[in-house]
Amino acid sequence: MTLAAPSGLFITFEGIDGAGKSSHIDALAQAFRQAGRTVTLTREPGGTPLAEKLRQLLLHDAMDPLTEALVVFAARRDHLVQVIEPALARGEVVISDRFTDATFAYQGAGRGFDWQKLQVLERMAQTGGGLDASLMREPDLTIWFDLPAAVAAERLAAARVPDRFEAQPQAFFAAVADGYARRCAQAPGRFARIDAHHSREAVWQQVIAVLQARGWLAGGAV
């Protein structure tokens, strides 16, 4: 008897700058690999040569909110076509540091750009890349690291030289956090909220519990 190939999983990590999500992405990838899965680890904006070039423009060149949104979705479309959809078709686990929820949080809530226009761009960029031409690709699970903006600001103060998003005032990140909360309320079945105001070990236990509850992992260690 031939066992069926595992289906692909698309997992995204989200949160304001300084929330600490990035430190857990490699650990989750390793937990899946230990469980016998092939993992594609990627990020947004970025993930392809073209998208990485667009990332540099976004992080360092001044532009208005509409231009920001267009640049992000252009990078996302290339990322989907070149990396995400092929990996999912192969049955891999795709883990991305940010995806579309970040656009709604940063450009929508943070910059004040029209939410409905972002939804139009979302459907344009994320439809037609998979086996079903009418499918709008969304993550199977979004792990949202929720942290008060004031705490995130303290963490960022000790970080590297900030890019033009990391350098924004605390009020901006408070608005971004509200944007994530709004997206979570719109898709509660897809989101898993992680209380990121704890030790790294305690946060990791929350993350692994989410995967265990869905039956995707039996366990894992940092």
Q: What is the DSSP letter of 211?
A: H
Which among 210, 21, 32 has a CA at the least distance from the CA of 101?
21
Which among 95, 118, 116, 97 has a CA at the least distance from the CA of 106?
118
Q: What is the DSSP letter of 136?
A: B
Is 53 annotated as belonging to a binding site? no
Is 143 annotated as belonging to a binding site? no
Is 15 annotated as belonging to a binding site? yes
CA distance 74 to 68: 10
CA 44 to chain CA centroid, nearest Å: 7
Element housing 41 (H / E)? strand 39-43
Within a 10 A sphere around the Cβ of 165, how many other Cβ atoms?
Answer: 17
**Helices (H), strands (E): how many in the chain?**
9, 5
CA distance 54 to 79: 11
Is 78 annotated as belonging to a binding site? no
Is 18 annotated as belonging to a binding site? yes
Is 17 annotated as belonging to a binding site? yes
Name the region of 44 (left: φ>0; alpha: ψ -120 to 50; beta: rest). beta
Strand order in the sheet with 141-146: 39-43, 93-97, 9-14, 141-146, 191-195
Is 140 annotated as belonging to a binding site? no
Is 21 annotated as belonging to a binding site? yes
Q: Return binding residues for ATP.
A: 15-22
Q: Return binding residues.
A: 15-22
